[in-house]
């Protein structure tokens, strides 16, 4: 993919420890969260280690999917909708190898990876992470 970025749309998933246990006594909130999870899965997201994830090489598709995730979560609350984000996977400017988010140098050729960035969902601008 030489020099292109792969975007990861990150959306929260059912995290009951964010809420008091008594919030789930009647099961309505639990059912609401399960519905949100099902909607994200139908939209094409998969469960990562800590988030629902959607990966794409297309910047516009990443923004569209982030907005879909925001809309799904906004039914529950703006706090969760506001946590939806897009990160650009580190890539080697020399050989095009994708790096892990924790990598600073390319595992294939040793070149310093392009800076870690977020993609602003509203403006489409890449923002370097310091």
| Residue 14 or 112, more confident | 112
| Residue 96 or 26, more confident | 96
Query: Over 80: is that where the pLDDT of 21 sits?
Result: no
Chain mean pLDDT for the chain: 83
Q: Which among 24, 50, 26, 53 is positioned nearest to 40, based on CA atoms?
A: 53
Query: Over 60: is that where the pLDDT of 5 sits?
Result: yes
* Alpha carbons 26 and 110: distance in angstroms, whole number: 55
**pLDDT of the residue at 42:** 92
Within 13 A of 10's CA, how many CA atoms are on the CB side? 16
- pLDDT tens for each residue of 27-37: 777 777 788 88
Tell me, what DSSP letter sits at residue 104?
S
**pLDDT of the residue at 13:** 75
How open is the CA angle 123-8-83, to the nearest 5 degrees? Answer: 65
- Confidence class of residue 2 from pLDDT cuts 50, 70 and 90? very low
């Amino acid at each position: 993919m030489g020099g292109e970025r792969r975007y990861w749309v990150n959306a929260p998933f059912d995290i009951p420890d964010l809420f008091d246990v008594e919030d789930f006594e009647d099961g309505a909130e639990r059912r609401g969260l399960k519905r949100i999870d099902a909607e994200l899965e139908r939209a094409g997201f998969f469960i990562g280690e800590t988030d629902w994830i959607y990966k794409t090489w297309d910047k516009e598709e990443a923004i569209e999917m982030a907005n879909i995730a925001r809309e799904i979560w906004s039914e529950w609350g703006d706090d969760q909708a506001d946590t939806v984000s897009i990160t650009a996977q580190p890539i080697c400017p020399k050989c095009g190898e994708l790096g892990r988010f924790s990598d600073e140098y390319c595992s294939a050729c040793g070149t310093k990876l392009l800076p870690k960035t977020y993609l602003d969902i509203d403006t489409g601008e890449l923002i370097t992470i310091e």
